[in-house]
Amino acid sequence: MRLGGRRVSSNIEDRRGTRFGRAGGIGLGTVVLALLAAYFGIDPGVVLQNSQQAQPVQEEQVPYQESAGEAQARQLVSVVLADTEDTWSQIFTAAGRTYEQPKLVLFSQAVQTQCGFAQSNSGPFYCPADRNVYIDLSFYDELHQRFGAPGDFAQAYVIAHEVGHHVQTLLGISEKTQAARARVSQADANALSVRQELQADCFAGLWAHNAEASRPFLEAGDIEEGLNAASAIGDDRLSKGRAPPESFTHGTSEQRVRWFKRGFDSGSMSECDTFNTRSL
Ligand SMILES: [Zn+2]
């Protein structure tokens, strides 16, 4: 991606260096909540349940020394977030609505959110309750090394996907889905979650389409990086084929790639209606 000269967002909140513990001196290790490692968006239901449990308290704030790689990643995230603000503001305005910009919180190791306490191993996520996107930038190393998805566009896709969940929240889609999920079987609830995730993938593609249309920034191989990342985090790939399809919550690699591409190729919201599509 060519990001030089592009605007950076003022909605970045840096909470790196915050350390947590529990009253009585019990270490963080004992208060690990069983967050599912649902990459690219924790199931909000899971986090909300966990928030009922004992919460660690903030212990101290230590100065955070970021590496050169992290500084670069922070810059990328700031530019991509700004770009999503521009894209979605335009789309919302055209529809007679106002786009409320989300905050993006950088954290290290753990973070307290209105969706509960989360640790880095849960991956980047969006919390509908406080409307923040959360990311520990070390996830990008994992994306590269563990998931085999390197590249700056892969990193941008992560942010655009989480912002997609924010858009779903603003449009009331998340709330409706959450309510519907509570009324059905686990398998059907999972199927609804898949629709929500694939729509966020489509929205990520839609962002890339619009950003490119307003000011070209994509370089050869960028879209492939995004598609590779979408493929790397499909439920079938993550479970190495061991989990049954009805347990999927994010969609298969093939589905994630296809919906991202659909958003990217069309640049249109109506092409991202995963909830009214018979076959995903
Ligand atoms: Zn997601």
Q: What is the pLDDT along the chain (280 residues), one digit of tens a residue?
A: 999 889 999 999 999 999 887 644 434 433 333 333 334 444 444 443 444 445 677 778 889 999 999 999 999 999 999 999 999 999 999 999 999 999 999 999 888 888 888 888 778 899 999 999 999 999 999 899 988 999 999 999 999 999 999 999 999 999 999 899 999 999 999 999 999 999 999 999 999 999 999 989 999 999 999 999 988 888 888 888 888 889 888 999 999 999 999 999 999 999 999 999 988 8
pTM: 0.89
**What is the 23 CA–ligand 1 centroid distance (Å)?**
33
Predicted local distance difference test score (pLDDT) of residue 22 = 63
Predicted local distance difference test score (pLDDT) of residue 239 = 80
Judging by DSSP bridges, how do beta strands 103-106 and 12-14 pair with one another? parallel
Distance CA 156, CA 78 (A): 10
Distance CA 264, CA 42 (A): 24
Q: DSSP letters of 85-117?
A: HHHHHHHHHHTT--PPPPEEEE-SSEEEETTEE
Distance CA 149, CA 163 (A): 20
DSSP tag of 125: E
Predicted local distance difference test score (pLDDT) of residue 84 = 98
Predicted local distance difference test score (pLDDT) of residue 55 = 63
Which residues have their alpha-adjacent CB atom under 5 A from ion ligand 1?
40-41, 197, 200
Judging by DSSP bridges, how do beta strands 57-61 and 103-106 pair with one another? unpaired
Distance CA 78, CA 70 (A): 12
**What is the 200 CA–ligand 1 centroid distance (Å)?**
6
**What is the 194 CA–ligand 1 centroid distance (Å)?**
9
Predicted local distance difference test score (pLDDT) of residue 109 = 87
**What is the 14 CA–ligand 1 centroid distance (Å)?**
22
Residue 1 in contact with residue 152, Cβ under 8 Å? yes
**What is the 22 CA–ligand 1 centroid distance (Å)?**
30
Predicted local distance difference test score (pLDDT) of residue 115 = 84
**What is the 46 CA–ligand 1 centroid distance (Å)?**
13
